[in-house]
Amino acid sequence: MKFIRQILIPVLIVTSAVAAVASGSAIRGIFTPARPAAAARPNITFPVYDAGADSLFHELAALYNRIGELKAYLAEGTIRVTDQGDSSRNTDLRFRYCHKDSMDYYQLGDQEMLAVPGLYLSVNHTLKKIMMSPRPQAGQFKLLINEEQLSELKKEGYDITKENADPFTVIRLKREKHVSCREYRVTYDSTGFIRGIFMRNANEAVPEDFSKDRLISVQINPWRTEYLPAQLFRVNRYIVKNGDSWMPASAFRNYEIKYIY
């Protein structure tokens, strides 16, 4: 499910904490190095899709490619994880993700992270800690789904359908016997922006028990692509220069700063 992991990035990049919260392989894989590809097995047959289904796969890719081409946007909403095998792992958190050029800000629950040229900044308000680390110079990440990735997705054997859910439209991938992700839905509005993502993942401990599936739902408010809050990218909201070192800003005077190199 490498493709599914990749196309969740626009929303679930909000923090690596999502991986720990969700504890689902399809999400956790976003934040961990990809495993080496397994050797191809002989005599594997892949599904053949008709023109209508093929068109839906390309429509799904276009939804994400639109986001990947944006230079600036703000997405806000909620992430809900329902673990039907262990209710103690259920989670319901608000998130906020803002991107502009080479800068990124995200908030998930009581955690915030800021990435600006030369610096990563992470703030945990529960632990009252501010972590700083250098940000290497790197090219800007773009989420663009290509034909090769679509081909890999098709090999997973999903049925793909499209349905009206007024005022939204839903594209659904479904395969009940899939070893990892049994169902994946993308909901989008009339402007072509994604407003919801739903995943139903098999429980890794008992994948044969459907009643213990893990449900992950992301609801997104209307996207903003202009007049973004500039203060989100201001480092001095959290830390201020003190000679050759840094200290917490007055609003966070009781926080501890940790440097990670």
Identify the residue whose tokens are 């959290």.
Answer: 238
Q: Tell me the H-state helices in 44-154.
A: 51-69, 147-154
pLDDT, mean of residues 79-84? 92
User: Is there a contact between 8 and 32 (Cβ–Cβ < 8 Å)?
Assistant: no
For residue 60, give Cα distances in angstroms to 93, 98, 188, 251: 26, 22, 10, 43
Give phi and psi for 209, each to the nearest 5.
Answer: -100, 100
pLDDT, mean of residues 61-75? 89
Would you state the pLDDT for residue 232? 95
User: Is there a contact between 209 and 226 (Cβ–Cβ < 8 Å)?
Assistant: no
Mean pLDDT of the chain: 82
103-145: per-residue pLDDT in tens?
Answer: 989 898 899 999 999 999 999 999 999 999 998 865 555 667 8
pLDDT at residue 42 is higher than 80: no
Q: Per the structure block, which two tokens stand in for 156?
A: 């997973």
Contacts of 260 (CB under 8 A, 6+ apart): 131, 132, 133
For residue 53, give Cα distances in angstroms to 58, 139, 161, 173: 9, 34, 7, 11
d(CA 191, CA 168): 10
d(CA 224, CA 221): 9
> According to the 3-state scheme, what is the secondary structure of 224-261?
ECCCCCHHHHCHHHCEEEECCEEEECHHHCCCEEEECC
Across 43-57, 100-114, 139-153, 205-219, least confident range: 139-153
State whether residue 181 is helix, strand or coil.
Answer: strand
More confident residue, 169 or 101: 169
pLDDT at residue 24 is higher than 70: no
Cβ–Cβ contacts within 10 Å for residue 230, how many?
Answer: 9
Domains and CATH numbers, the chain: 2-35+50-101+140-228 (2.50.20)
What pTM was computed for the model? 0.80
